[in-house]
Amino acid sequence: MSSPAEPLPLPPPKSRSLIWRFFQFFLQIFFCFWLGYRSRGHQQLEDADGGLVLANHQSFLDPLLVGLPLHRPISYLARDSLFRIPVIGWILRNTYVMPISREAAATATMRETIRRMQHGFLVGLFPEGTRTETGAMGPLKPGFVALIRRAKVPVYPVGIAGGFQALGRKSWFLRPTRVRVVVGTPISIEELEQFAGRDQDQALIEFVRNRIASCFDEAEAWRTNTVWPKLVDGPQTNG
């Protein structure tokens, strides 16, 4: 009986591939012009060790919006069927995306996710599980709790505002609007360990949701402000 194949070696967790650098350059220009894109607090992700980035889910743009200002990659999960689509699959394979299959064991995906975080990667998830239908933030699904407990890495809450207005669930075209992204104060391992035990799962979910919601509220207030933030250092900087 053959033994399971060894996982492939991982690339450096803080170095962007040339493919991502190429797309990132043009997306920064386009998103800043068309979406008035600005982010705040992302600097604390640059030198961080591995961790879990949890954000509210507004549109298909969200993985790009969170990672756009960073000089390091974020590794996301995507349906394995997308990897079979010409061009799209090639892009996903070269931009640190992990395939997830409904037929495969969930433990395999969890092991790979934890392996990446312990290697030093930031792994991005949208714990609502689906895009918002109204623009408001919904409840979180509990799947991320097991990752938090097993990986023992910090959690980085992120709020996205304006993605729904730009490309909501029923939208076919990218509308010009303001988009704001706020990265909040990291949730430390010590804070997360206060919710040890299965009987604390719901309390942990609510705790994390409140931290993401605070970032979302800040991003939404920033987005709806009548005074545009002053651009200081380029398209991806704070206002």
Distance CA 189, CA 211 (A): 15
Asked, for residue 171, whether it belongs to a domain, the answer is yes
Q: Does the residue 15 lie in any domain?
A: no
Classify residue 14: in a domain, yes or no.
Answer: no
Phi, psi of 92 (to 5 degrees): -60, -45
Q: What is the mean pLDDT of each run of 10 residues along the chain (239 residues)?
A: 64 92 95 96 94 96 96 90 85 86 72 94 94 95 93 97 94 93 97 90 97 97 70 40
**The two structure tokens encoding residue 91:** 């892009």
Instruction: Determine, yes or no, domain membership for 29.
Output: no
In a domain, 31, yes or no: no
As for how many domains the chain has, the answer is 1
**What's phi and psi for 123, nearest 5 deg?**
-110, 130
| Per-residue pLDDT at 40 | 95
What is the pLDDT at residue 85?
86
**Polymer length of the chain:** 239
Q: What is the CATH number of the domain that holds 145?
A: 3.40.1130.10
SS3 (DSSP) at 192:
helix
24 falls within a domain: no
**Partners of residue 187 on adjacent β-strands:** 155
Any domain includes 210: yes
Residue 51: strand pairing partners:
122
Q: Assess contact for 157 and 82: CB atoms under 8 A.
A: no
Give pTM, 2 decimals: 0.89
User: Domain containing 133: what range?
Assistant: 36-224
In a domain, 48, yes or no: yes
> How far is Cα 11 from Cα 149, in angstroms, rounded to an integer?
25
